[in-house]
Structure 1
Amino acid sequence: MNFDQARFFMVEQQIRPWDVLDQKVLDPFLNIPRHQFVEESKQSLAYSDVELPIGHDEFMMAPKIEARLLQALDIDETDTVLEIGTGSGFLTAVMATLGKSITTVEIHADLQEVAKKRLASYNNIEFKLGDASHGWEDGKQYDVIILTGSVPEIPQAYKEQLNLGGRLAVIAGQSPAMTAQILTRISEAEWETETLFETDLKPLMNAQSSEPFSL
């Protein structure tokens, strides 16, 4: 299989038609070998318009979903990013090329270990292990926060963890009707909401429960 050609077709036939036209976002999708972030047996599907299983009943988001969220987040080279759900590590890699630093949280230790190996060449990624389905209390504020699984309601903790002008990407609601949104903090107590598209995404582990699971 010609992975370079598959990557080009992914961008031209899936991502661009979804109104993702920002070259800053398109370049990492063209340059980062997505097939290296999945099991060898699934590499032929790495550039397809599907959610790929990665273990623990978890999935990679479809490329066009990832790209659309990233375009709306408009990550800058000075931005600090918090990613909830490292998963395969592919989205982490893309954001590491866009932002200043990435803190990425994963609940499954084995998925994190695999992602660490795939991301070994990046020096601006900090890995954390734990349940961040309801919040991640690390005492830090971030310019960008992204939740890679859906939540029934947007956790207030993440809204509060944004710097002024910071953006939160989240897919919220109940299956099959969920909404991808970008929340921008415009004051200490105000957030502006932009609705991007309707979709259906597997929830973050433990996001459906009222209390976070304790490791």
Structure 2
Amino acid sequence: MNVEQARFNMIEQQIRPWDVLDPGVLALLQAVHREDFVPDALRAQAFVDTELPLTAARRMLAPRVEARLLQELKVQRHEKVLEIGTATGHLAALLGHQAQSVVALEADAALAAQAVVNLKRAGVLNVSVLNQDGARGLAGEQPFDAILLSGSVAAVPQVLLDQLKVGGRLVAVVGEEPVMRAVLITRRGAAEFSKTELFDTVAGRLPGFAEASAFSF
């Protein structure tokens, strides 16, 4: 496989047509090698437009979804970021190139350990990986300028929103299969939040988050 041609095709045929046009994001996708964050057995599929299975319960987000979430979060160089569900660390590496610092949470111990190895090998030194689920965020490190949920949830817990700075943003994929939607939530004040619906997609579930009740009253 011609890796550089495959990377070019991924960007030009999958990612750019999905309205990922930020030149900084596109440059990062060239510089941070996705194949280095994919299990060896799946390396040949690193650039395929699909989620990749990492464990029985976890999947790596599709390239275009990763890129679009990254673009929508609009991380700046001075900012502190929390990523929830880092898996093997690919999005954490991308965020690390944009932010001042990143804390990445991963509930699966083996995936967390692999993320540490992958990030070190990639030379990304401003990302800390913690082996824990992210449903309650990381109160000891708040407030954050940006929070990214790298997987889907039934709903965004208020406890995560409360860990944002005023002006801070959270991006997540919310809903139930087959209908999920990426959303951007911005903290406007101490108890004021706004929500923007971004795009429809489907993503694997993050562990530790409550599912929606089957009944409503």
Per the normalisation by structure 1, the TM-score is 0.93
2:101 is the counterpart of 1:101: yes
Q: State the Cα distance separating 1:209 from its structure 2 match.
A: 5.2
**In structure 2, how many angstroms separate the alpha carbons of the residues matched to 1:200 and 1:123?**
31
**In structure 1, how many angstroms separate the alpha carbons of the residues matched to 2:148 and 2:162?**
14
Across the two proteins, how many residue pairs are aligned to each other?
A: 210
Relative distance call for 1:125 and 1:140 in structure 2 (3 A) is same
2:189 is the counterpart of 1:182: no
- Runs of 4+ more than 4 Å apart: none
Matched with 1:202 is 204
Provide structure 2 residue ranges, at least 5 long, that are not aligned to the other structure.
213-217
Give the conservation status (yes or no) of the 8 Å contact 1:149–1:203: yes
Give aligned-pair identity as a percent.
Answer: 39
Matched with 2:144 is 142
Matched with 1:54 is 54
Give the conservation status (yes or no) of the 8 Å contact 2:142–2:164: no
Give the conservation status (yes or no) of the 8 Å contact 1:135–1:155: no
**In structure 1, how many angstroms separate the alpha carbons of the residues matched to 2:141 and 2:32?**
32
Per the normalisation by structure 2, the TM-score is 0.92
Q: State the Cα distance separating 1:118 from its structure 2 match.
A: 0.7
Aligned with 1:161 (options 148, 163, 167): 163
**In structure 2, how many angstroms separate the alpha carbons of the residues matched to 1:125 and 1:202?**
23
Provide structure 1 residue ranges, at least 5 long, that are not aligned to the other structure.
211-215
Q: State the Cα distance separating 1:191 from its structure 2 match.
A: 1.2
**In structure 2, how many angstroms separate the alpha carbons of the residues matched to 1:36 and 1:201?**
21
- Write the letter of the residue equivalent to 1:29: L
Q: CA RMSD in A?
A: 1.3
The Cα offsets for residues 73-117 of structure 1, whole Å up to 9 and x where unpaired, read as 111101110000110111111110111100001111111111111
